[in-house]
Each structure stands twice: as C-alpha cells, then as structure tokens.
Amino acid sequence: MRSSLFFKKMRGVVQALLIGLLATLSQQAAAQDGDAANGETLFNNNCKACHSPKDEVVVGPGLKDIQKRRDLAWLVKWVKNPNGVIQSGDEYAVALYNKFGKAQMTAFPAYGEKEVKDILAYVEKANTVAAPVPAAGGAATAAASGDSAPSDLFTYILVALLIVMLLVLGVLMAIVSILSKAVSGEATASEGVSFSDRLRDGLVGLSKNSAVRSATVWFFILMVTKATIDGMYGIGIQQGYAPKQPIAFSHKLHAGQYKIDCNYCHTGVNRGKSATIPSANICMNCHGVIKKESPEIQKIYTAIEKNQPIEWVRIHNLPDLAYFNHAQHVNVGGVQCQQCHGEIQTMEVVEQRSSLTMGWCIDCHRKTEVNTKGNAYYDKLVELHKSKSKEPLKVADIGGLECSKCHY
C-alpha cells in the first residue's frame, strides 16, 4: 500500500515538472506583447529615415532601450503629437528637442498603443538578434525579413528546449523506474549496478519506445520541411549583399560626415526612373583639387585618361519584370532614401538593407498614407475616399495594389 502511494506521488512529481516546463515554454512564446514583424514594417516605412533601432544617432536619437527611458503612455503621446508634448513643457521632450537642433518630429496621429508596442517589439528584436554578416568577397546572403521566413534563432531555441525537455523526461522516467523497483522489492536484481548504468538503461529503454521514436521522426520531418520552405522563401533575396567596389567610396564620409546631398551625385533620382550612377566628372568637381594623390582617387584619373567607365557593381537590382520609378516615389511621394536603402549615411560599404520583394513593396503601399496636403490633384480623390471610409487615404486606395502598376 505504501509503495503504491509512493509511486503515485513520484508520478505526480514528474507530471508537475513536465507541466511546469511546458508552461515556461508557453510563457516564453507569449513574452512579447507587440508584433515585431509589423513593427519592422512600421519602423522602415516611417521611422528609419530619422532613427536607428540601435544606439546610432541618425537625425534623431537611437531607439535602443527607449522603453526603459520613457513609459508606454508617454511614448504613445509623443508619437501621436510630439509638438503637443513639447508645448506642454515636458522636461524630457524639451531637452530632446533642443539637443537635436530643434528639428520637429513628424506626428503620427493615427498610431495608437498597438502600433507603438509593435515598433518597440521590433526595436527589442533588433538589439537581441545579430544582424546578418555579408559573405566574404561580396557573396549574397538571404536574411530574414518581415515578409520572409522567421528567424533561425527561434528554431535553434526551440530545438534546444525540446532536447532539454526530452533529457529531463528520460532522467525522471529512469529515476521513477529505479525507485519503483526499489520500493516493490525488485532492487536486489540491480545490486552492484551503478546509478549511471541504470540511468543509461532507462534512456535506452526510452529510445526503444515506439511513441517516442515516432515523435522524434515526425519532429525531424517537420524541421526539414520548415528548412526547405525557408530556403525557398529566400531564393532571389539579396538582403545583406555588399560587394567590393572598384573604388573604395565611403558614404559614411561623404553623406554622413560631410553631409553631401544624395541628389548631388545621383542626379536622376528626382526626375527619372533611375537614380543614375555618378559620372567621373561629378567626382572631379571636388577631387580635381581635394586628395588628388590618394590611390583611390588616382583610379578615377586613370579611368578618365583611358576614356573608360568606372565599373561599379550594382547592389540594388529589381527583376526585369518589375517597374520602379525613383521620381514617382522620391519627388511625388516624398520617400526618403533611407526608407528603402537603410541608413546610407552610416555605411562605409553600401549593402542592400531591405528585402525589395514584392511583399515588401505591397506592404508599404498598404500602410503608407498619401500626402495630399496642398495638392489639388488629390482633392476629388480625398472627397470620394472620405465618403466611403474613415481611414486616411493610403497608396493602396489610389491603385497602389494594381498589378499593372509594376507589371505591364
């Protein structure tokens, strides 16, 4: 009777431990309130031009640990109406405004607590997951993005936790088996056998269990299937691509330190389909006098003397089946370079920061509001839109999701 009660208690302990482990896994899965994937999209579309998710200062401060500096309620107020927070006399807001040259942050009155939580979730993810490192020699790497497969880090954590759970389960079952035999008087048969041997026998018995073996096989089948699907999602995505250029040109020096306007070198960005590659004579506007002796600048002189173009390696390249017009986005839509190309002014070597997939473009069209202020072209469209919806006019509402816009 006592042995039966003891065995039931041990079984209860094992069940309690397993339930506790599963509860821990569930809590970890639900640890973040915000949607980091949506937050990344919101950040890239609206915040990246002025902020870095890390410590770097772009136009405004880096957002790393911002939730530790200000509470959620304050952040929501700030995002909705930054000027109102400043005018209220908030010390932190006023100090921030003065520190960054009294630059007025854009207000996002349509954003609420959910959108701010999503952005915070993305910022936290960006500071805990290492960014993809471009392969040596400029080989393309397919990194995870908002419209691609989930991060591999989650897979590794899941596998590690599953292995730990199986080991704990094996050990506990072996201990229960040993103790139940000892209580029932069957311990005499195992006298002289070490605990490690008995534990090994218990694990071997567990491995021979048909249910455990079936679960293991199905787990690996699912993991292989997931890896295959993830790999298919990454085909054609060159996010992180950073090839070596024939001349070592630093955007960090020119666009960052010396603040040369992007339009000065990429002359077609406001009036044509292509932003254009700078010609050698644009470089010589400055380098005909500045740093003429530099080995890298001498490469420009050599190209001019031989009447040969500088063979720059293209980084951002859309498929031929897709149409994209820089002037339409930059000049009409007011899209900043950083929104698609990342913090270009901080890059020593330029790399492709965004995925540039169709899903990435469509997601931007669905969430980007059309700037109709002071433009009579949109008056009738705005009037018609307001008669059917209370939401702001988005790019998707003016044909931004039509196939013929990009494929014709």
Give the pLDDT confidence of 323-343 residue by residue, as tens digits: 999 999 998 888 999 999 999
The amino acid sitting at 321 is L
* pLDDT, position 192: 58
Token look-up 């039509």 returns 402
On whether the CB atoms of residues 124 and 71 are closer than 8 A, the answer is no
The DSSP bridge partners found for residue 244 are none
Residue 309 has pLDDT above 80, yes or no: yes
On whether the CB atoms of residues 361 and 406 are closer than 8 A, the answer is yes
| Phi, psi (rounded to 5 degrees) for 18 | -65, -40
Lowest mean pLDDT among 2-16, 30-44, 180-194, 277-291: 2-16
On whether the CB atoms of residues 115 and 34 are closer than 8 A, the answer is no
pTM over 0.75: no
Query: What is the enclosing helix (H) or strand (E) of 354?
Result: none
Mean pLDDT for the stretch of residues 104-123: 84
Residue 163 has pLDDT above 60, yes or no: yes
Q: What tokens does 264 get?
A: 């000065």
Per-residue confidence at 141, pLDDT binned at 50, 70, 90? very low
CATH 1.10.760.10 in the chain, residues?
36-128
For 97-121, give one letter per residue: b (16+ CB within 10 A) or e.
beeeeeeebeebeebeeebbbbbbb
| Phi, psi (rounded to 5 degrees) for 340 | -105, -35
What is the rounded CA–CA span in Å between residue 387 and residue 314?
46
CATH class of the region 36-128: mainly alpha
Crossing angle for the helix pair 2-29 and 152-183, nearest 10 degrees?
Answer: 170
- Residue 180: count other Cβ atoms within 10 Å of its Cβ: 17
What is the rounded CA–CA span in Å between residue 371 and residue 147?
25
Nearest of 131, 166, 137, 123 to residue 152 by alpha carbon: 131
* pLDDT, position 98: 85
Percent of the chain whose pLDDT exceeds 70: 79
